[in-house]
Amino acid sequence: MSSITVKDGTEIYYKDWGTGQPLFFHHGWPLSADDWDSQMMFFLEHGFRVIAHDRRGHGRSSQTFLGHDMDTYAADVAELVEILDLKNSIHIGHSTGGGEVTRYVARHGGTRVVKAVLISSIPPIFMQTATNPDGVPKEVVDGLRNGTAYNRAQFYEDITIPFYGFNRPGAKVSEGIRQNWWRQGMMGAATAHYQCIKVLSETDFHDDLKLIDIPVLVMHGEDDQICPFPTTGARSVKLLKQGTLKSYPGLPHGMPATHADQINADLLEFIRA
């Protein structure tokens, strides 16, 4: 396996395939680099270098109890980018990975990153607060915590239904997609996933979004049952200096898997523009 050891001793697993312009993929909670297989294979065939890592505590990376905050997640990415010496790169994040992209580009991107993509992502802020009154209610977030801590195997099976919109009339349910989500989730550490819920729900990205001055594509399903479009993607694009919004009527949170052909084609168009 390919891995690096970052400053605090945590091992970060990564995939690095191909040559050409680098595309760096950031996965969502509680998944792994494997969640990007459809995108990585597609862009590898189109002549790009594709990289994806397992966030600390997730997938094949160290099951550490430490460093579960967005600053550390972004710093881990920065160390990997430096070691691989990635230049002229495009960073693409889904869900929590979109928050990671936002913090990484704002704090560490510098001249190495030329574009970014936020897909079904958590910014600018996920949970309901006094300043974000129509965010996701705290009791919903607490449900994620309780399910992860005390009933993870069943909870991870159940959450795939709204995640992929399989509870909608006429939805074609893919048991393979559901099982792959469960497999990835169960690979990681319960404690890391539990702590990551606080990170994804409470981190405020307003200032990060305002700092980013490269082109950013915001892609979001309008029927996202995990990160509701009106309070996440629709707001993020307004805070970006060079933001472009592409929303998808009826598409779910997990649209990179359920609608891979459409998402891949739109990503390619933005990357080549």
Catalytic residues: 95, 224, 253
CA distance 110 to 252: 32
Q: How many Cβ atoms sit within 10 Å of the Cβ of residue 214? A: 15
Q: How many Cβ atoms sit within 10 Å of the Cβ of residue 19? A: 9
CA distance 250 to 236: 20
Query: 3-class DSSP state for residue 128?
Result: coil
Write the CB contacts of 232 (distance below 8 Å, at least 6 apart in sequence): 121, 122, 123, 124, 126, 220, 224
| Pairing status of strand 3-5 against strand 11-17 | antiparallel
Residue 241 backbone dihedrals phi, psi, to 5 degrees = -70, -35
